[in-house]
Structure 1
Amino acid sequence: MAWKQNIIEDFKQLVSFDSISFHERKTADWLFARLKSMGFSVEEDQAGSHYGGDTGNIFAVLDGELDGDPVIFCAHMDVVEPGSGKKSVLEKDGTIHSAGDTVLGADDISGILEILYGVQLVLDSGKPHKKIEILFTIGEELYVKGSDVFDYSKVTAKQAYVLDLSGAVGTAARRAPSIISVRAEIKGKAAHAGFEPENGIHAIFAAANAVSRLCMGHVDEETTFNIGTIQGGTATNIVPDCCVLTAYETPLESKSVTDFQKACEILGFSGELTGTFGGSDNNSFAKNGIEGLVLSNGMYNAHSTREYTTVDDLYKGAELIGQLILL
C-alpha cells in the first residue's frame, strides 16, 4: 500500500528538521500545510511568545458527517537534546534508529505521523466519521509548557488520546503523577581561590553536599526524584521556580478507555492499561476537564542516542488511530 511507504518517507523528513523545544518552526510549518491539504481548518496560537520561542501550538479541526462528541488527538513537536542534525537509518528488519550521535526524535514524530495517517486512512476509506480535533504542542519536553498555556475553550472533544508513551502500540497509560519542578539557587561568598580560599563560602561544594544526601530515582512506588542539571561559577543566577500539574487517573469506565480497548480488540492488539511515571500533555487535558489516555506509539529508549522505532509500530499506530475515529 502506498501509505505505508509514504509514512516512512514522512518520518525521515520530520527527523531531518531541527525541532528543539521552543524552536519547532520547521515542523510546525510542515504540519500546518499537511493538515490544510487534508481539509482541516488550522490555527497557530501564541504559546511560543510566553517562552521566547518561535512557534505556537497547532490546533486543527475537521468536521464530520456523524453526530456525537468528537475526539481530540495530541502529540508534541519538540525533541530533546542532542536533537540537532538528526538522521534516520532504516534497517532491513524495519528498525529505524538515529546515526548514533543524536536522538532519533520518534518521541514524538511517531505520534505525529500515526495521528496524521490514522486520519488519512479514514478519509481514504470514505466512511462517515465524527468531528476530529488535533493538537500538536510545543515545549512538551520542558514540562508541558505549550499545552499548559493553550486555550482549551477551543476544544469541543470530551475525550483525548495523547500519543507519547514508550513501548509497542496497543498499550495505554490511564494515570500519571503530578509534575513538580524546582530550581534552587545556592549563594556562597566569593574569594580568591589561590590567596584566601578560607575567606570564601564555596557554593558548588555546598550544593554538591546537599545533592549527595538526596535519594534519586524511585523514592517510593509512586514517586521518582531527579536532579537534572547543576550550574555554578560564572553561570547566570537562577530565580527559584515551581511548576505543578495535577495528577490524574482516568476511570476504567470512561469512554476513552472503553473505546481504546474495543479498538485494540478489533485490531488484535493487547489493549493493556498501565500507569506512567512521566508527565505528558494529558496532564494538561486532565487539568482542563478532558478525560484521556496516553497511548504507546512505538518509541523505545527515548531521550537517548539509542532511541529507535519500528516500521511495524508506525503502521499499527496509524491503524489504531483510524479505528478510534470510527468508533
Structure 2
Amino acid sequence: MIQPKRITDNFLSLAAIDSPSYGERKMADRLTAALKELGLSVEEDGAAEALRGNAGNLFARLPGTGTPLLFTGHMDTVEPSAGKKPQLHPDGTVTSDGTTVLGADDLAGVTILLEALASIREDGLPHPPLEILFSVAEEPYDRGSEVFDFGKIRSREAYVLDLNGKVGGAAYAAPSICSFTVTVGGKSSHAGFAPEKGVHAIAAAARAIDKLKMGCVDGETTLNVGMIAGGTATNIVPDLCTVKGELRSYSHAKAEALLDSVAGTFSRAAVSLGASCKMESRFGCRAYEISRSEPVARRYADACEKAGVQPDFFRTFGGSDANQLNQHGIRSLVISSAMYLPHTCREYTRVADMAKMAEIVRTMMLHA
C-alpha cells in the first residue's frame, strides 16, 4: 500500500540534492541506487558526453507479464537551486526556505514513481513489464531526452509525471516550441563625425522587430522577442546586434511558417539598411495531441476515478519530455505530479497529493 511517511522521507531527501540542468550527477547516483534496490535493472546513457554535462539519462526496467508501459520524470531543476533546504510544514505542505526553488518540478514526480514501484514490490503484486526513464536537462527544452536512444523502449504508451496543478490533471496536447537567434551585422563608424559611413545594426534589427506581431499571433500561436544585445559605445555606430526570441504553436506547420516569416522579416529589414543577417533556430519541442478515446487517456481516467479523483484533461502551452516521446511514436500523456508554483521560490508540494498520485500511478502500473 502507499505509505505517506516513505513519500515524505524520499522527497525531503531528493529535494535536498543539488541537481541543476547539466549537473545531475548526485541525483543520478541516488536514483540508480534506489531503482536497483526496488529490483529494476538500470543503465545510464551517454547524454553527459553529448551535452557536456556530468550525468546521463537513466533507463530502468522491471520484468513482468503482458504489454510494457513507460513512466518518466526528469532529474534536473531550474535555478536558483544551489543549497535547497526543503521545509516540511505541519499540514504536510513542503516548501523551500524561500531563497531557492523547491525542486518539486520534477522531484515530486520522481518521488511518486518510486513510491508506486515500492508499494507494488512490497505487496508482491503481478504487473506488466514496466519501464522508467529519468531524463537529464529537461528544463532547457528536452535536451536530455532529445539525445536518448528511443529504440531501447519497448512501450508504445507512456505517462510523463511533469505537470503543474491539482491531482487528476492531464495535458493531452502541447505546442511546438522554437527558440531562435538572429545576428544582424552592420558597419561601425564614429557616431558624431561620420555616422553616414556606418551601417546601424541595431536600427536594422529594430526595423524588423517593429514589423513583427508580438504576443498572440492567432488563437494557437505566440511570438516573443525577449533579448536584444548590441553596440560597444554611445559614440560608435553599432556593427552588431543579436536578437533572441521564441515562438510556440499547437500546429507545427504554423510554427514552421512563422519561423520562415520571422527570418524573412529580418532579412528584408537588414537589406534595406545595407546590413547582413543570419538566423539560427532550434525546435526543442514538437506539437502533439492525444485523443481522450485513446487507451493511454482512458487508462488514466479510469485510474483517477478508481481513486475518487475527477480526471481533468486540458491543453498546455508548455513543453515536456512527452513532446519527444510522441515524436518517436510513443503515445504519451503528461499527468499531474503534485507540484505547484514551479519555477519560483514559492514552489510547493503536498504529501497528501503525492500519495494520491502514487495511488493512481500504481493502479496504472498494475493494469496496463
Asked if these proteins are the same fold (TM beyond 0.5), I'd say: yes
**3-state SS of 1:35 partner:** helix
Q: Which residue of 2 aligns with 1:257?
A: 297
Provide closer, same or farther for how the CA distance between residues 147 and 197 of structure 1 changes in structure 2, counting only shifts above 3 A.
Answer: same
Q: Which residue of 2 aligns with 1:56?
A: 56
Q: Which residue of 1 aligns with 2:42?
A: 42
- Which amino acid letter does the alignment assign opposite residue 160 of structure 2? V
- Distance in 2, Cα, partners of 1:241 & 1:105: 29
Q: Which residue of 2 aligns with 1:139?
A: 137
Once the two structures are superposed, what CA deviation does each residue of 1:172-223 show, in whole Å capped at 9, x if it has no partner? Answer: 1111111222122233444567887776555456546655665444433322
- Contact 2:78–2:343 (Cα < 8 Å) also in 1: yes
Matched, 1:33 2:33: yes
Deviates more, 1:230-239 or 1:18-27: 230-239
**3-state SS of 1:292 partner:** strand
- Distance in 2, Cα, partners of 1:163 & 1:220: 29
Provide closer, same or farther for how the CA distance between residues 236 and 224 of structure 1 changes in structure 2, counting only shifts above 3 A.
Answer: closer
- Distance in 1, Cα, partners of 2:85 & 2:194: 51
Matched, 1:112 2:110: yes
Provide closer, same or farther for how the CA distance between residues 63 and 225 of structure 1 changes in structure 2, counting only shifts above 3 A.
Answer: same
Matched, 1:268 2:308: yes
Sequence identity, in percent? Answer: 46
Q: Structure 1 unaligned runs (5+)?
A: none
- Contact 2:178–2:281 (Cα < 8 Å) also in 1: no
1:103 to 101, 104, 121: 101
Q: CA deviation at 1:255?
A: 1.4
Alignment RMSD, CA only? Answer: 2.5
Q: Structure 2 unaligned runs (5+)?
A: 233-239, 245-278
Deviates more, 1:246-255 or 1:231-240: 231-240
- Contact 1:183–1:242 (Cα < 8 Å) also in 2: no
Matched, 1:289 2:329: yes
The structure with more radius of gyration: 2
- Distance in 1, Cα, partners of 2:196 & 2:13: 57
- Which amino acid letter does the alignment assign opposite residue 13 of structure 1? S
- Which amino acid letter does the alignment assign opposite residue 135 of structure 2? T
Matched ranges for 1:1-327 at <5 A: 3-64=3-64, 67-191=65-189, 203=201, 207=205, 210-211=208-209, 214-232=212-230, 240-243=280-283, 245-327=285-367
- Contact 2:11–2:111 (Cα < 8 Å) also in 1: yes
Once the two structures are superposed, what CA deviation does each residue of 1:11-51 show, in whole Å capped at 9, x if it has no partner? Answer: 22222222111111111111011111111100000112222
- Distance in 1, Cα, partners of 2:327 & 2:290: 12
Provide closer, same or farther for how the CA distance between residues 185 and 324 of structure 1 changes in structure 2, counting only shifts above 3 A.
Answer: same
Provide closer, same or farther for how the CA distance between residues 323 and 52 of structure 1 changes in structure 2, counting only shifts above 3 A.
Answer: same
Q: CA deviation at 1:167?
A: 0.3
- Which amino acid letter does the alignment assign opposite residue 249 of structure 1? E
Deviates more, 1:228-237 or 1:172-181: 228-237
